[in-house]
Structure 1
Amino acid sequence: MKTKLAALLLLLPLGVAGLLRCTSSNSDLDNPRQGTITIAADESFQPLVKSLTNGYEGIYPNTHFNIDYKPEQEAIRQLLNDSARIIFTTRQLNEKELEIIKKQKGSQKFQHIATDGLALVTAKNNPDSLITVPQLKAILEGKTTDWTAIKGSQEGLITLVFDNANASNLNFVLNKFGIKDIQKLRIISAGSNENVIKDVRENPTHLGFIGVSWISDGHSLASEELSNGIRVMGVAKDAQPASVADYIQPFQEGLEFKRYPLHRDVYIISREGYSGLGGGLMTYIARDVGGLIIQKMGLLPTVVYPRELEIKREL
């Protein structure tokens, strides 16, 4: 009897220690109100992601997001390596990527949060700010190499300026126009969307491609400063537009009903297998003031923030 009692007493500390480990482990898990997680986003969405995460952290001060800004394909790889909880992208995962997560026995879900526009920007002293989709396609195919081919424009060889290879901006136009080879194009990788703007501002013959959220927040001093010295081109779908009104810019009015020809979707993709901080951010964007922040940034939110109007009829 004494031997059994001694054995039980020896096991008791181990059981308590195990219980404490479980309790500690559970308390270490993040939840929608506290914790720190890593997320990744294509650099073209930096102003948008920064505003959304800052807004969330303002409501829940015990939360924090470590954000890695990188080209879209690298962000997706980070998700597949399980080193980022959620990512912001312009596309859903393809079958090969989904298979990788399936083999890892991981979970994934996505959420369409906004419609964005890829903005074409030129220097202020470039006399033309209008372009058609066929003209842009001819440039990307290498058939048009000089600005003189675009009516009303200047002289000079066209140089295309993107942020990075493997980033969403370049991948988007290549996929949209079915471009397979860019070796013959005059093309520059500036390193960031901000650097694209700076490069275009200093070089009148350069045509830049940026995420519109960098310049569409009318309440941001940084956005206003970046907009100085550049033009945002209007893009017409047809080769022979009937009027100037057919040239659409990538701001909210043009993104509504996807009238702007270079519109694209913005997604959040999550690997979170429980109700954690990543899910809290996704809910915030879908059901709370996240939609209002997206709208303020100049994009078109998937879920518009509801506004109540009281209408009084005077008799």
Structure 2
Amino acid sequence: MSRTEKATFAGGCFWCMVQPFDQEPGIIEVVSGYTGGHTENPSYREVCYGDTGHAEAVQITFEPDVFPYQKLLELYWQQIDPTDRKGQFHDRGDQYRTSIFYHNEEQKALAEASKKALEDSGRFRKPIVTPIVPAARFYPAEEVHQNYYRKDPRNYRMYRQNSGREDFIAKHWGIKKNKKQLKETLTPLQYTVTQKKGTEPPFQNAYWDNKRPGIYVDLVSGEPLFSTTDQYDAGCGWPSFTRPISTHRIVTVPDNSFQMLRNEVRSKLGDSHLGHVFPEPSVPTKLRFCINSAALRFIPKEDLDSEGYGEYSQLFDSET
């Protein structure tokens, strides 16, 4: 058994803080709960409408040798507004504050270094106010609040969007595209597919019949999107997958073009057109992600460490 650690983050509504971590390799469990206050065993109502001092938070059990704490911190900053002292997005009040609760001195040092790097980056014009404080007792929330993104995905997506969180993340963490530069760095086909919602020819693309193990990342942003562990031959002539590596890294959008009703698939931060997702009764997930090779960069399993995606090597452990 690999060693495990705990990480605890407050980032506003805990419904929105589970999915970003939940499907990453090396993540054992993500629990929604309350921490940082003075009331024992608080309820959701007491935290939201009372004076418990607690914040809504998530506690993550993870394997640091697979998904290091530094990676968790990078992912955490991308979910929040670290310049807001009084809540997060449309959720106002101290119970929705941001905080990093460190469990040991190493986590404290890494968190402080990560916060300073964010401050020095100039990404935000306002000061970074998220505190780094010792972990306190964590109280799991009621079952109805656990893994809410799975229990009620439609309401979850609406809540994230309507709260302002999605727009904030896109504005501050999305890739700022330079169309001229993209035209110079991408091939005409890659540009047409990723930026103009084009489609490459079937059976005449790089990865439709790829047999090498590895992962596919967004060509523009480098976001890890799909793995060959979920790739299969659907007979359509394009790379097909039963699921993405993490549903948090993609966005689906209704597409009514060509007098068809489809769901377009885009990368979250890169905002690249990737392809479409279709119902597929023959696979366990009941979904087929039909993706253009021209929107992807393939990283072979043996190159994951050198390319900075070493945590995804775990996806192929059963193959060795």
TM-score, normalised via structure 1 length? 0.27
| TM-score when normalising by structure 2 | 0.27
Determine which structure has more spread, i.e. the larger CA radius of gyration: 1
The structure, 1 or 2, with the larger RCO (C-alpha pairs under 8 Å, 6+ apart) is 1
Report the structure, 1 or 2, having the larger helix content: 1
